Amino acid sequence: MQHRVDELPADTLLFLLGSRYCETDVLSDEAWRLFSGTAPGWARVQAICDFVHDHVTFGYEHSRPTRTAAQTYAEKRGVCRDYAHLAIAFCRAMNIPARYCTGYISDIGQPPPYAPMDFAAWMEVYLGGRWHVFDPRNNTPRIGRILIAQGRDAADVPLTHTFGPNTLTGFQIWTDEVVA
């Protein structure tokens, strides 16, 4: 269920506002044009994810640290953070609290050949009294997500945050499914 704004808990209201990468003011009219005909709640969020998934072409070569949701919408390309920012901006414009999540997505539960494991961005939306995971980039349920941080957008919780010149010399991540 999608809550009316006046029924939302106070701590969710921040996730209705525009932010550095999620310009709800710029995308509001377009969000209402595209999604006002969908049923409020889960169906509307899924329609937003389906649209973003189909509208944006994924490619690491399209990565740009300054791309906003409106730019992603216009350019129709990006990486997972761009998918998340655009879906978040559309959700917020439709009065659905949405927050940006960054973390690691594993290949657990994926059939061979295994999808690449990678650092990733997705979103959580507030419906029915709790936060739910949606991933407009992959647009399919995935298990084995390792949440690192949540915020308004990548300005709050970037994948990496450095001060001054730096060189990444390497990193390793292991994920294993725990058998019940």
Does 88 score more than 90 pLDDT?
Answer: yes
Q: According to the model, what pLDDT value does residue 77 have? A: 98
d(CA 21, CA 148) in angstroms, rounded, equals 19
Q: Are 71 and 22 in contact (CB under 8 A)?
A: no
Residue 127 CA to residue 55 CA, distance in Å, equals 24
pLDDT at 95: 98
pLDDT band at 112 (very low <50, low <70, confident <90, very high): confident
Per-residue tokens: 36: 């006002």
Q: Are 137 and 58 in contact (CB under 8 A)?
A: yes
pLDDT of residue 116: 63
What digits encode the pLDDT tens for the residues 123-173? 999 999 999 999 999 998 888 888 999 999 999 998 888 888 988 888 777
What's the token pair of residue 165?
Answer: 């010149």
Query: Is 104 within 8 Å of 116 (Cβ atoms)?
Result: no
> What are the residues whose beta carbons fall under 8 Å from the beta carbon of 41, sequence distance 6 or more?
1, 2, 127, 128
Query: Is the model's pTM score more than 0.85?
Result: yes
Higher pLDDT, 145 or 46: 46
Phi and psi, residue 125, nearest 5°:
-120, 150
Average pLDDT over residues 74-103: 97
> What is the separation of C-alpha 96 from the centre of its chain, rounded to a whole number of angstroms?
13
The pLDDT assigned to 115 comes to 64
pLDDT exceeds cutoff 80 at 174: no
**Model confidence at 108: pLDDT above 90:** no
